[in-house]
A and B are shown apart, each in its own frame.
Chain A
Amino acid sequence: MSTRSPDVEDFIGKKYQHGFVTDIDADTVPPGLDESVIRLISRKKKEPGFLLEWRLRAFEHWQTMQEPRWAHVHHDPIDYQAISYFSAPKSKEDAPKSLDEVDPKLLETYEKLGIPLHERAILAGVAVDAVFDSVSVATTFKEKLAEAGVVFCSFSEAVQNHPELIEAYLGSVVPYTDNFFATLNSAVFTDGSFVYVPKGVRCPMELSTYFRINAANTGQFERTLIVADEGSHVSYLEGCTAPMRDENQLHAAVVELVAMEDAEIKYSTVQNWYPGDENGVGGIYNFVTKRGDCRGDRSKISWTQVETGSAITWKYPSCILRGAESIGEFYSVAVTNNLQQADTGTKMIHIGRNTRSTIVSKGISAGRAQSAYRGLVKVLPGAHGARNHTQCDSLLMGDRCGAHTFPYVEVKNPSAKVEHEATTSKIGEDQLFYCLQRGISEEDAVNMIVNGFCKDVFRELPMEFAVEAQNLLSVSLEGAVG
């Protein structure tokens, strides 16, 4: 920590002596990362001892790791000491207890982003656990969920109220040693969401969280943990938007899903973070580890994602199919325009008998963007009767973009059936011509064709998300043709 000035050391030292009280709006820790920052985060969040220890073990391990280079993306080196690892809109002590207490200015920001929070919550019957930067500021419909026995709260609340669940499940799917970014997240994560659905409960509503990145220069380290106990069912929606930013921001989230016997988790994402301008300046680095563990027999985990934002997307929502007859699904649309880069896909690890997985991936590249599908289907010797079907298609718009496919298939069981197919094509001139001569503008025609190309995935999205996703697609591809 030679980069830090003595003033900063004093600043941090003060916190320990007098508690963390400040009157600045964004309560931000100075950039840099060392053990004291982690201790500070843990202290500020009043975490139990086991969590701090876990964070420190992760940090110790992280220092021995090197940033991976295998992905098909290019970016300037990231200076991990230039990132501030904690940012909260207001200090924890006077956090609002309900929507009414939320700072109207924050609500205004949501409005500007086009998400009328309470309207959506009431109309769609969606409980929203909104994350502004790193700390939850509003949670709705909590009571209704509590009635059903569902725990849906911010991660820090869960740490306070359900430490036994956190201790039992945190890191059980993505261990702190997993990979460079997941390990970093394990050391410094600030908040996120936690869901626990008890035995036999069908969650009465779609659960939804909106992540926002607001303060400049703040890495976002969300941690989401969803546990679906025996025979339960939950559908979780995650949507992301971000305001214009000039500097690259690192986002290294971790999502862990645990599905016990007969449980089902459906996880849907619409990701529309700031992708940088048309010259590739700015934009979010989205390096996310998402993994689901089908721990019980006949459990099911389904990932659906629409990725339109971020300068660089690098994520592989995966399923570990441990339970017999468990099912993993992955449906993805990844749109890259201008200078965006995406290296995304999935991993399906078949361990249990008669496990099944389906992968449908649609990549769309426009401008000078590079989009890659990277997937692994692994069938272990015990996965008798395992079945996988992978379909991955790429659509190219413009002669300077790229679409790449790197599917890994590893099979060690003779009764497994694994199929992979991929195609690459561009929008047919005859299709365009047909639309144009029927009076449909070129832009609309392209939208229509692209939406048709993606319909296998959109079909899997919850209704309100599907509409949003289609709109996002047309915004993302603006100016790609013509």
Chain B
Amino acid sequence: MSSAIQKSKRPGRREAALDAFSAAWSDLGAGNDAATALRRAGFEAFTGTGLPTTRDEAWKYTSLRKLARHAFRPAGPAEAPSPKQVAAVSVDGLDAACIVFLNGRLEPGLSDLTNMDGIIARPMASYLDDHESSDAHPIGTVAAIGQHPFVALNQAFLRDGIVIRTVPGRAHDRSVYLLFLSVPGGEPVAAHPRVFVDATDGSQLTVVEHYVGFGNTANLTNAVTEISLGPAARVDHYRLQEETANTFHIGGLHAKLLRDAQLATHNVHLGGTLARLDIGIHLLDSGAETVMNGLYCVDGRRHVDNQTRVDHFAPHTLSNEVYRGIVGDHGRAVFNGKAIVHPDAQKIEAHQSNDNLLLSPEAEIDTKPELEIYADDVKCSHGATVGQLDADALFYLLSRGIAPDIAHDLLTFAFAEIVAKRMPLAAFRRRLERHLAGVLADDRLIQENLGAER
């Protein structure tokens, strides 16, 4: 009988969460017809499926029970941190136009939309107001609401965010830095920012998305980024997630690549109580290439879930994925990498690797690298490992007189550094290395090494 009670309990909680979202949705101010139609489609798709459960294959290892306990309010006006506070958390040394969002809403006072190196950056709200028909703009064409419930939820609340368009043929030296601040708003609030990057023919752009939490917030960040790459366009996308230990972070990064386009995604998870990122990349024409790098450090009782999927639709396309994770305490890390080679997508290459360092008896790692291949002239490989620090390497350092904890830290750092080194943006990598060195007990040696390197 107890199982019957549990069964009736669970959907109840999910429904309560659904009701909270529904209530928030009906309070949403009206937009023009096009925007309203998009939101309605998103809302209907979301309520159609509801919150996913662990019975859904894509959510097998990630339970949303904790998330469903909260009734998240829509983000209202919040007290902005001072420019000094913002500067303290932001990635320094970036040559970038900085755009700041507060609980998902663009904060003009902290943002710089003027010095953009020709890049057109428009707040999502006014962009939607200017487009009476959804045929006239591409929002929602890259991220599919049918497959991802949280993309649907994001689209249901589509209002804030930014639309970025590059200058065709121009390699933009200046990056775009999107800083998403999650601040306490009394009750837990939900932010649904949407970023759309239109990388036009032959242009090059670096985008850095940075999610930071302040104070003790227990908010929900449900961010979706769409990137559309025209022929020969190149985008380097960096994503650093440093939410508070109580924040739920659900992200989506979806991209479409045309002929000879290149997309590099660099995805780092350092925070959040429950963090999930779905990456979906469509390689639509030959010559399209993507590189996916990822690093996650999971401690405390945190849960990090990375789901990546690359669809090779065309011949001569390439994907290369390297994800690494360090999991300790009661942390749990989930990785699911999928490479799908569609019929006739010959002469493609798809490589994938996921390595994990499991440091505590209470921690858990669930990894699933998948390949689905429907063409024969392909080079595909994947690998996954779960293990500890190499005992030989540890012994080597000990025999050279290095204390055990320092040797341990050095090797852990070196493990992560393999991914960090694959991230070319110096300011971003420095920030990451400093964080890694900071969490390790004695970082003197590492700091010296970092210093010597430069």
Tell me, rounded to whole Å, the shortest Cβ–Cβ distance linking A71 to chain B.
12
Tell me, rounded to whole Å, the shortest Cβ–Cβ distance linking A397 to chain B.
7
Residues from chain A with Cβ under 8 Å of B358 in the complex = 411, 413-414, 416
Number of A-B contacts (CB under 8 A): 115
Does any Cβ of A come within 8 Å of B92's Cβ?
Answer: no
Does any Cβ of B come within 8 Å of A97's Cβ?
Answer: no
Chain B residue total in the interface (Cβ 8 A): 37
Does any Cβ of B come within 8 Å of A241's Cβ?
Answer: no
Q: B385 touching A410 by the CB < 8 A rule?
A: no
A411-B364, A411-B365, A414-B360 as given contacts; A422 in contact with B386, CB under 8 Å: no
Q: B376 touching A405 by the CB < 8 A rule?
A: no
Q: A424 touching B373 by the CB < 8 A rule?
A: yes
Q: B381 touching A422 by the CB < 8 A rule?
A: yes
Does any Cβ of A come within 8 Å of B384's Cβ?
Answer: yes
Q: A399 touching B376 by the CB < 8 A rule?
A: yes
Does any Cβ of A come within 8 Å of B379's Cβ?
Answer: yes
Tell me, rounded to whole Å, the shortest Cβ–Cβ distance linking B159 to chain A.
38
A411-B364, A414-B358 as given contacts; A396 in contact with B376, CB under 8 Å: yes
B346, B371, B384, B388 — which one has the most chain A CB atoms within 10 A of its CB? Answer: B371
Q: B383 touching A414 by the CB < 8 A rule?
A: no
Chain A: interface residue count, which band? Answer: 35 or more
A394, A399, A401 — which one has the most chain B CB atoms within 10 A of its CB? Answer: A399
Tell me, rounded to whole Å, the shortest Cβ–Cβ distance linking B300 to chain A.
16
Residues from chain A with Cβ under 8 Å of B378 in the complex = 396, 424-426
Q: B344 touching A399 by the CB < 8 A rule?
A: yes
Q: A417 touching B373 by the CB < 8 A rule?
A: no
Residues from chain B with Cβ under 8 Å of A412 in the complex = 363-364
Q: A399 touching B372 by the CB < 8 A rule?
A: no
Residues from chain B with Cβ under 8 Å of A424 in the complex = 371, 373, 378-381
Q: A417 touching B388 by the CB < 8 A rule?
A: yes
Residues from chain B with Cβ under 8 Å of A400 in the complex = 343
A399-B377, A424-B378 as given contacts; A416 in contact with B369, CB under 8 Å: no
A404, A419, A420, A423 — which one has the most chain B CB atoms within 10 A of its CB? Answer: A420
Q: B372 touching A401 by the CB < 8 A rule?
A: no
Does any Cβ of A come within 8 Å of B94's Cβ?
Answer: no
Does any Cβ of B come within 8 Å of A8's Cβ?
Answer: no
Q: 0/1 per residue, B350-383, Cβ < 8 Å to A? A: 0000001011111111111111111111111111
Does any Cβ of A come within 8 Å of B27's Cβ?
Answer: no
Does any Cβ of A come within 8 Å of B57's Cβ?
Answer: yes
Does any Cβ of A come within 8 Å of B83's Cβ?
Answer: no
Q: A422 touching B383 by the CB < 8 A rule?
A: yes
Residues from chain B with Cβ under 8 Å of A410 in the complex = 61, 364-366
B384 nearest CB neighbor, chain A only: A420
Residues from chain B with Cβ under 8 Å of A394 in the complex = 371, 373
Tell me, rounded to whole Å, the shortest Cβ–Cβ distance linking B342 to chain A.
10
A409-B367, A414-B360 as given contacts; A397 in contact with B386, CB under 8 Å: no
Q: B364 touching A404 by the CB < 8 A rule?
A: no
Tell me, rounded to whole Å, the shortest Cβ–Cβ distance linking B117 to chain A.
43
Residues from chain B with Cβ under 8 Å of A398 in the complex = 376
Does any Cβ of A come within 8 Å of B93's Cβ?
Answer: no
Q: A407 touching B384 by the CB < 8 A rule?
A: yes
Does any Cβ of B come within 8 Å of A7's Cβ?
Answer: no
CA distance A308 to B375 in the complex (A): 21
Does any Cβ of A come within 8 Å of B451's Cβ?
Answer: no
CA distance A425 to B350 in the complex (A): 11
Q: A418 touching B387 by the CB < 8 A rule?
A: yes
Q: A404 touching B366 by the CB < 8 A rule?
A: no
A417 nearest CB neighbor, chain B only: B387
Residues from chain B with Cβ under 8 Å of A403 in the complex = 371, 373
A411-B364, A426-B377 as given contacts; A406 in contact with B370, CB under 8 Å: yes
Tell me, rounded to whole Å, the shortest Cβ–Cβ distance linking A392 to chain B.
10
Q: B386 touching A70 by the CB < 8 A rule?
A: no
Tell me, rounded to whole Å, the shortest Cβ–Cβ distance linking A206 to chain B.
36
Tell me, rounded to whole Å, the shortest Cβ–Cβ distance linking A425 to chain B.
7
Tell me, rounded to whole Å, the shortest Cβ–Cβ distance linking A291 to chain B.
21
Q: 0/1 per residue, A245-258, Cβ < 8 Å to B? A: 00000000000000
Does any Cβ of B come within 8 Å of A309's Cβ?
Answer: no
Q: B374 touching A402 by the CB < 8 A rule?
A: yes
Tell me, rounded to whole Å, the shortest Cβ–Cβ distance linking A344 to chain B.
15
Q: B376 touching A411 by the CB < 8 A rule?
A: no
Picked from A399, A407, A414, A420, the residue with its CB within 8 Å of the CB of B363 is A414
Does any Cβ of B come within 8 Å of A462's Cβ?
Answer: no
CA distance A406 to B1 in the complex (A): 35
A414-B359, A418-B386 as given contacts; A408 in contact with B368, CB under 8 Å: yes
Q: A399 touching B346 by the CB < 8 A rule?
A: yes
Picked from B343, B361, B373, the residue with its CB within 8 Å of the CB of A414 is B361
In B53-80, the 8 Å CB interface with A consists of: 57, 61
Residues from chain B with Cβ under 8 Å of A70 in the complex = 57
Q: B388 touching A414 by the CB < 8 A rule?
A: yes
CA distance A412 to B61 in the complex (A): 13
Residues from chain B with Cβ under 8 Å of A407 in the complex = 368-370, 384
Tell me, rounded to whole Å, the shortest Cβ–Cβ distance linking A383 to chain B.
11
CA distance A404 to B370 in the complex (A): 7
CA distance A419 to B385 in the complex (A): 4
A410 nearest CB neighbor, chain B only: B366
Does any Cβ of B come within 8 Å of A471's Cβ?
Answer: no
A379, A394, A410 — which one has the most chain B CB atoms within 10 A of its CB? Answer: A410
CA distance A77 to B283 in the complex (A): 35
Does any Cβ of B come within 8 Å of A81's Cβ?
Answer: no
List the interface of chain B (C-beta within 8 A of A): 57, 61, 343-344, 346, 356, 358-388
What 3 pairs across the A-B complex have the smallest Cβ distances? A396-B376, A424-B380, A421-B383
- 20 A-B residue pairs with CB within 8 Å: A396-B373, A396-B376, A397-B376, A399-B343, A399-B344, A401-B376, A403-B371, A404-B370, A405-B371, A407-B368, A407-B384, A408-B366, A409-B368, A410-B61, A421-B382, A421-B384, A422-B369, A422-B371, A422-B380, A422-B382
Further contacts, 4 of them, CB under 8 A, given A379-B386, A418-B385, A423-B381? A401-B376, A414-B360, A418-B386, A421-B383
